[in-house]
Amino acid sequence: MDLSGKAVLVTGAGSGLGAATARALVAEGANVMLADVDAQGLTAIASELGEPARCRRTDVTDADQVQDAVTEACRSFGAIHGAIHCAGVVHGERVIDRDGNVHDLSAFARTVTVNLTGTFNVVRLAARAMADNDPDAEGERGVIVCTASVAAFDGQIGQAAYAASKAGVAGMTLPLARDLAGRGIRVVSIAPGIFETPMMTGMPEKVRASLGEQTPFPPRLGRPAEFAALALHIARNVMLNGEVIRLDGAIRMGPR
């Protein structure tokens, strides 16, 4: 897909991977509909990007709010041609902690609801809007990029909820791509390793350095711009479909 002049919905756009992706899209000549629950961060990124950007505070688990973001994108830009879904939450908790307390069930449910149900909510509503697009020369009407995690495959101690939610994203990628193939809509997921996101930048420098050194090469945390570069390549390369791509510097997470 040629991104110039196209409109793309970016969730989690108020910071981190989503903000970097929005910047990269605008640099390619695309228009972006920015969505995030962080209204302050969202407004700041929209102001930075200027005219090609619109923003709407959006909880990805809320069907009406996601539909409103999709509708506004179509109204502002004439159509929606892509969705890059970066919104998500992390949660760490042992099934049974050292004091004998069991994992909070509501925390598990919330993690799965945001990361997995929220992803499907964005996919289904964005795909419905893309299905109305005129196909290009390849028959393509749209592209959707979801965000899984290496935790889907190498989940660590305390990551049962997070790993389950991201494994769900990885697991539904192929059936989603097959389901939407007849509409000319591709679906690909990226499984990032350890990246410089707001969650990571809040950690002490010593901890960040230690985590980065676990990556074989390059021995550092991933940069959001590197995630954005892969997301844009997926959008451009029509043969990429139904795949989960690890972006992790060859890291394989240990048990802890």
The CA distance from 127 to 157, in Å, is 35
pLDDT greater than 90 at residue 111: yes
The predicted-structure confidence for 31-69, as pLDDT tens digits, reads as follows 999 999 999 999 999 999 999 999 999 999 999 999 999
Task: Give the per-residue pLDDT at 58.
Answer: 98
Q: Domain map of the chain by residue range?
A: 7-91+114-156+167-247
| Mean pLDDT of the 130-158 span | 96
Longest dimension (CA), the chain: 61
| Confidence (pLDDT) at 212 | 80
Q: Does residue 27 surpass a pLDDT of 90?
A: yes
35 bridge partner residues: 11, 56
What class has domain 7-91+114-156+167-247? alpha beta
What is the number of alpha carbons within 13 Å of residue 157 lying toward its C-beta? 6
Does residue 151 surpass a pLDDT of 70? Answer: yes
Mean pLDDT taken over the chain: 95
Is residue 183 within 8 A of residue 127, CB to CB? The reply is: yes
pLDDT for residue 254: 86
Distance in angstroms (rounded) separating the CA atoms of residues 183 and 177: 10
Annotated catalytic sites, by residue? 162
Band of residue 206 on the pLDDT scale cut at 50, 70, 90: low
Dihedral sign from CA coordinates of 136, 138, 144, 145: negative
Q: Give CA–CA dist 85/87, Å, rounded.
A: 6
